[in-house]
Amino acid sequence: MDATAVIALFADLTQVELITWVERGWVLPDATGGSLEFHEIDVARVRLIHDLRRSMEVGEDSVPLVLSLLDQLYEMRCQLKAVLLAVEAQPNEVQQAILAAVEPRSD
């Protein structure tokens, strides 16, 4: 999807604003032949930034911090999913031991 198609998805997003987000590294589309190619993940990122700026009124200076924290949270979620899959592959006794070890304790 090119930049024009991405901009068309939002009533109040300008080309200058989208290009600024790309230049700041907030969105990382592929640059092929002098044009930008936005994939589904890029459009989702644009939607997130748009929501942060418009709906949530996050200041421009705060966007990099918010994006960094959200990226870290996403990475942690992926790591937890990998751990869950590894635990599910273990015998039942091992699974039960892991659950017992991570169960909250009331001291």
**Chain segment 50-105, per-residue pLDDT in tens:** 999 999 999 999 999 999 999 999 999 999 999 999 999 999 999 999 999 988 87
Report the run of H or E that residue 35 belongs to, with start and end. strand 35-37
How high is the pLDDT of residue 107?
65
Q: What pTM did the predictor assign?
A: 0.79
**Chain segment 26-43, per-residue pLDDT in tens:** 999 999 888 999 999 999
Report the run of H or E that residue 18 belongs to, with start and end. helix 15-23
Q: What are phi and psi of 43, to 5 degrees?
A: -65, -40
